[in-house]
Structure 1
């Protein structure tokens, strides 16, 4: 008797499933197709993004080779093209390298390009600081110490990526302006930072030796 009931239950279940399939099969099939399409689209997106990155990487290396061959005009054009066409990461690097190429023919124009990068909030903080420092390096001989300090002071913070170079530039600028107190301030900051690179520390010590001795009270 129990086997009979089991057969009846099984038949009922099959009939219920049949009715559910007839009612909802179009939605089930459509959902499955959407999932397949979404996965395929994502895979396709990943493929094309990887392809674009590989192409941008090859183009970036080719532009860098032009620069190493002192073909700065061609390198500038190649990096500028990458700025317009490359994925985000390569685009930022290409902007920095394009500005470096411009510096060979027009330091003031290159400094402006670096300033544009430093002011771009879509660019990461380390890249912004690097742009500030490169612009300041180009303008060191022609810019007053107060202006240099305004440009670079934010990049001298203890956690700033390029703080060592920023401090050195400010020490040099203060020394050129005969602001001994300011030069000594930055040189002491360099000396007291345990992570200061050895080569930069040596340069700072050499500059420190050029400063007049501290007046005794």
Structure 2
């Protein structure tokens, strides 16, 4: 005798599936429009970000070409032709191009002996949070160098003390200014010790090393080993 199908189980499955469909339809009616709106907004935001990135890249390319042409004008001593492009680049949203343009503007002012104007620009770079820290530190060194004759020695020491240490990329330049401030304030022992450290620095430019060797000798400290340029001269002889 054949066993009749379990119609109760089949019926329950159909009811369960129908209930799930009703729940999904209800959820779509309730939340579907919100989900679609959120998706549209997300896609719009992503598309806007892509457009913004493309515009930034295009602007960076234009600014790069402009900066290159400006440097060509400066190399050809066409300072007047370079003035406006530098002013435009100094206002750039790109912190790199802006910093380079402002450094260049300050250097041009120094060539005109306008140390106050140059120091003002260096100070603005130092305070610009968008500029990378190494360049802000360099701007502080350049600012201090421009203002050195008008500053009290202790101001120079306090301002650059954190940079006048080994392994800092600006150790040579900052250390030389701090050591000079020590001399100016009568702290010859500290000046001699710092000049000696600079003269022995592995990553210090040879021109700064040479001056440090000379100053060490003047302050009564035994000169360290010869700098790179001096060693080459000795070999040549």
Q: TM-score, normalised by structure 1?
A: 0.76
2:84 is matched with which residue?
Answer: 77
Unaligned runs of 5+ in 2: 1-6, 222-237
Q: Distance in 2 between matches of 1:164 and 1:182?
A: 15
Q: Decide which of 29, 37, 52 is 1:45's aligned counterpart.
A: 52
SS of 1:201 mapped into structure 2: helix
Q: Which sits farther off after the overlay, 153-162 or 39-48? A: 153-162
Q: Distance in 2 between matches of 1:111 and 1:100?
A: 10
Q: Distance in 1 between matches of 2:55 and 2:180?
A: 48
Written as runs of structure 1 = structure 2, the 5 A alignment for 1:56-135 is 56-108=63-115, 109-120=117-128, 123-135=131-143
Distance change (3 Å), C-alpha of 1:6 and 1:150 = closer
Q: TM-score, normalised by structure 2?
A: 0.70
Unaligned runs of 5+ in 1: none
1:54 is matched with which residue?
Answer: 61
SS of 1:85 mapped into structure 2: coil
8 Å contact 1:145–1:174 — kept in the other structure?
no
Distance change (3 Å), C-alpha of 1:152 and 1:77 = farther
Q: Distance in 1 between matches of 2:152 and 2:172?
A: 17
How far 1:84 sits from its partner (Å)? Answer: 1.7
Which structure has the larger Rg?
A: 2
8 Å contact 2:192–2:219 — kept in the other structure?
no
8 Å contact 1:118–1:132 — kept in the other structure?
yes
Q: Which sits farther off after the overlay, 187-196 or 50-59? A: 187-196
Q: Decide which of 167, 171, 176 is 2:175's aligned counterpart.
A: 167
SS of 1:155 mapped into structure 2: coil
8 Å contact 1:56–1:87 — kept in the other structure?
no
